[in-house]
Amino acid sequence: MTMFPELNQKVVIVIGSSQGIGKAVVDTFLANHAIVVAADISYTTPQLQLVENQQYYQIKLDISQESEIAAVNQQLIENQLIPDVLVDVAGISTMDFLVQSQTKDFDRTFQVNTRGAYLALKYFTKTMIEHQKQGRVIVIASQAGKNGYRGMAAYVASKHAVLGLVKTLAIETAANQILVNAVCPGIIETEMKQRERVEGGSLRGMSAEAVQQEDISQVPLGRTGLPQDVANVVLFLASPLASYMTGQAINVTGGMTMH
């Protein structure tokens, strides 16, 4: 892993941080000696909790709840932990064909993936602006924000909307030197992907193993991705190497999506 001394003691908040891509992002920034605030719905305390040392905090956060985002934002201000980097990884998916799907599943997917991203960008970016932080905002979208996939209408639509938020905020914060970009992972080996293979396979009369082989066959590089593959690109976007990039949606798909 490339190390960036410029990230030493920078404050990084990672939302959706307990597993998969989010955990890899946390570990990557800690390895670069950043001060990391990890927020996730699975954590137990709504108060900032020091975990290992002076570099790593955890806090419970349901990104779909505006009151919780506001409360976490206020705690960051009170503890002088103004973000230099915001990384929103939080997301959920449901599996069903559109005409058979439940409206409540569609609403919940948008509540977390799209409304949650909107709230996180709104509160934490405003705080960065007010404290004159010339920082980075990075949202984990998906190649599903650029393509359509059977059985995933709500997820696909939510991630298309997330890219719209990213592009708009990038324009609005350019004068503040806050760079806003999205990362669009392809098929990444996470707990969520494993569940999707089971549920999606059931919809299509296939085993999870058969879906996995189908997944691999669609990737030109011949393998599915790992969470660290995505975390590496997040690190790049937070680094000085990406100082002339904003409003972008970068694919990390092994060549599966090329636009």
Asked about 155 being catalytic, the answer comes back as: yes
Q: Output the furthest CA–CA distance in the chain (Å, rounded).
A: 54
Distance CA 142, CA 134 (A): 26
CA 207: distance to chain centroid?
Answer: 28
Region of 106 on the Ramachandran plot (φ > 0 left; ψ -120 to 50 alpha; else beta): alpha
User: Which residue is catalytic, options 57, 118, 123, 155?
Assistant: 155
DSSP3 helix / strand / coil % (the chain, rounded to 5): 50, 15, 35
Task: Give the 3-state secondary structure of 193-220.
Answer: HHHHHHHHHHHHCCCHHHHHHHHHHCCC
Which residues contact residue 251 at a Cβ distance below 8 angstroms, ignoring those fewer than 6 apart?
A: 143, 146, 184, 186, 257, 258, 259
The token pair that represents 152 in the structure block: 């995933």
- What are the Cα distances from residue 112, in Å, to 16, 86, 190, 221, 237? 11, 17, 18, 31, 23
Which residues participate in catalysis according to the annotation? 155
